[in-house]
Chain A
Amino acid sequence: MSSVPLIEARAVSKIYQTKDGPVESLRLLDFAIAEGEFISVVGPSGCGKSTLLKMVAGLLPLTGGTLTLAGQAITGPQRDVGIVFQNAVLLAWRTVLDNILLQAEIRHMPSGEALAEAQRLIDMAGLTGFEGKYPWQLSGGMQQRASICRALLHDPSVLLMDEPFGALDALTREKMNLELQRIWLASKKTVMLITHSIPEAVFLSDRVIVMSERPSSITAIYAIDLPRPRTLDMMGSPEFAVLAKQVRSHFYTQGSLDH
């Protein structure tokens, strides 16, 4: 793993102004994500994981601290970032292909190249033959795969995922975890994944960031040194169990297991 930090957070904090006064969401976060690294962020719900992700995406301003992407301060939406939301957020009036091409249209990418790249991603995500279908004709897992294709179309170096599989059933979710690993191994993107699922975080990540309840800070960062590619069988291995237990212990001591 290269040690060049692609994303770097220094004393990042976020305070929301609400009717009942200021609410401190994030307190003094420090972390660095290396290029090509797969990072998961786990924490109780409402702890500001999504806020953090939106700040990295440049969709929310920081209250304090600095956040840099490839050495540049993040002040607005980034060219080099793709986002996957919890819901697939596909436009109902566009086919799968046209949904993926939305990225190209808005960014004014050359249409020939974009189409070729979209087709390549569709093949990679196993959506071949579904290009002309509408979102409501697809299963939840397929919708989310299409939204991953859309996030990758402009070849960003960073892929941000906000609980992308939270709405899927357990079996589909495991399958999607395998798919995501495959896509990541093939594309070597830097991934930041927000998740509620400890097994999912351990299974996919190089490192897992554990966050506390609000006002949240980073409680611990675990390196997951399991060999790649990982298989679902490995989830039953003692090493996996130990890592998952370590991560989970933080939630029990906090008195809230949000899973």
Chain B
Amino acid sequence: MLRRLMLFPAFRPFLLILMLLVLWDVAIRVFGIPAYLIPRPEQVVGQLIAEWSHLLKESWQTTEATLGGFALTIVIGIPLAMVIAYSKLIESYVYPLLVFSQSIPKIAIAPLFVVWFGFGIVPKIISAFLLGFFPVVVSTVMGFKSVDPDMLDLARSMGATRLQTFLKISLPYALPAIFSGLKVSITLAVVGAVVGEFVGSNSGIGYVLQVANGNFDLPLMFAALVVLSSIGVMLFLAIDVAERLMIPWHASQRQVF
């Protein structure tokens, strides 16, 4: 049975997780680590089960904020990157500023968003957007800039309009790079949403983490972390599926034929 499961690549990460859990448990027993420093795996699982409905409700809040920030990333980040890729002038104005803005620690300015937008979902969305949009911009710019010049000459020789060249050549050519940016971005957007919840919110997994931390409820804290990582993994997988559907022709997606 185990031998059969090991043959499926999809099961391998779970197998590794299981081994790490065992290692975790053994380490706590062997070194006698007290529960107020690190809880035992079964305590975490216990809290996961006990607080299940609560965690589910809060994780939905975090997911909403993440998806909101991610949507902003797509709507703002990708067009911005296109403009940067197509105009040297705009690039020289905007790009340095973008890098500059990226160096500002979001956690330090997140409280400002609470002051400006209150305790609702808006500051969380902005925080998720700010953390996630930079990788998308960078890789989209790279994607559009690396379009084969011969392809552009080819389109020109056919008398293609700018729009035709964009839709039929540049955009499909840049899609793989855009997707690699989106994959990095989605995981960062989760972090951004939690940052937003840390600084000013009474809902979401970030809030659960803070409360659990305040109450020294380490098992709940670890349970919240498990839920949070699961959100990240699931969103990442969703992007992965979208990528597979949209660029099945790309080298990274090709099946042996």
Find residues 155-183 in chain B having any chain A CB closer than 8 Å to their own CB: 155-160, 164, 168-169, 172-173
Of A77, A79, A106, most B-chain CB atoms within 10 Å: A106
CA gap between A78 and B156 in the complex, in Å? 10
Main secondary structure of the interface of B (DSSP, over half): helix
> Number of B residues whose C-beta is below 8 Å from A?
22
The verdict on B148 contacting chain A, using a C-beta distance below 8 Å, is yes
Residue of B nearest to A84 (CB): B154
Provide the B1-32 mask, 1 if CB < 8 A to any CB of A, else 0: 00000000000000000000000000000000
Residues of A within 8 A of B158 (CB): 77, 102-103, 106-107
CA gap between A59 and B152 in the complex, in Å? 10
The verdict on A137 contacting chain B, using a C-beta distance below 8 Å, is yes
Contact B249 A134 (CB under 8 A): yes
Contact B168 A106 (CB under 8 A): yes
Residue of B nearest to A85 (CB): B150
Contact B157 A59 (CB under 8 A): yes
Residues of A within 8 A of B157 (CB): 57-59, 77-78, 81, 83
CA gap between A87 and B155 in the complex, in Å? 15
CA gap between A83 and B157 in the complex, in Å? 8
Residues of B within 8 A of A59 (CB): 153, 156-157
Residue of B nearest to A57 (CB): B157
Which of A14-22, A29-37, A88-96 is near enough to bind chain B? A88-96
* Shortest CB distance A209–B (Å): 21
CA gap between A57 and B160 in the complex, in Å? 14
The verdict on B251 contacting chain A, using a C-beta distance below 8 Å, is yes
Residue of B nearest to A150 (CB): B154
Contact A85 B154 (CB under 8 A): yes
* Shortest CB distance A224–B (Å): 28
Given contacts A89-B150, A136-B251, contact A107 B169 (CB under 8 A): no
Provide the A97-129 mask, 1 if CB < 8 A to any CB of B, else 0: 000001101110000000000000000000000
CA gap between A92 and B156 in the complex, in Å? 19
Residues of B within 8 A of A136 (CB): 249, 251, 254
CA gap between A58 and B155 in the complex, in Å? 12
Contact A83 B159 (CB under 8 A): no
Find residues 108-160 in chain B having any chain A CB closer than 8 Å to their own CB: 148, 150-151, 153-160
Given contacts A59-B157, A106-B158, A136-B251, contact A87 B172 (CB under 8 A): no
The verdict on A188 contacting chain B, using a C-beta distance below 8 Å, is no
Contact B159 A77 (CB under 8 A): yes
Contact A93 B257 (CB under 8 A): no
The verdict on B54 contacting chain A, using a C-beta distance below 8 Å, is no
Residues of A within 8 A of B155 (CB): 106
Given contacts A106-B168, A136-B254, contact A89 B151 (CB under 8 A): yes
Contact A85 B168 (CB under 8 A): no
Chain B residues within 8 Å of A, Cβ to Cβ = 148, 150-151, 153-160, 164, 168-169, 172-173, 247, 249-251, 254, 257
What are 5 pairs between A and B in contact, CB < 8 Å?
A59-B153, A77-B156, A91-B151, A91-B169, A137-B257
Closest 9 CB pairs of A and B: A106-B158, A93-B249, A106-B160, A89-B150, A83-B157, A85-B150, A93-B172, A77-B159, A77-B157
- Extra pairs beyond A93-B250, A102-B158, A136-B249 (5, CB < 8 Å): A83-B157, A85-B150, A85-B153, A89-B150, A93-B247
Chain A residues within 8 Å of B, Cβ to Cβ = 54, 57-59, 77-79, 81, 83, 85-87, 89, 91-93, 102-103, 105-107, 134, 136-137
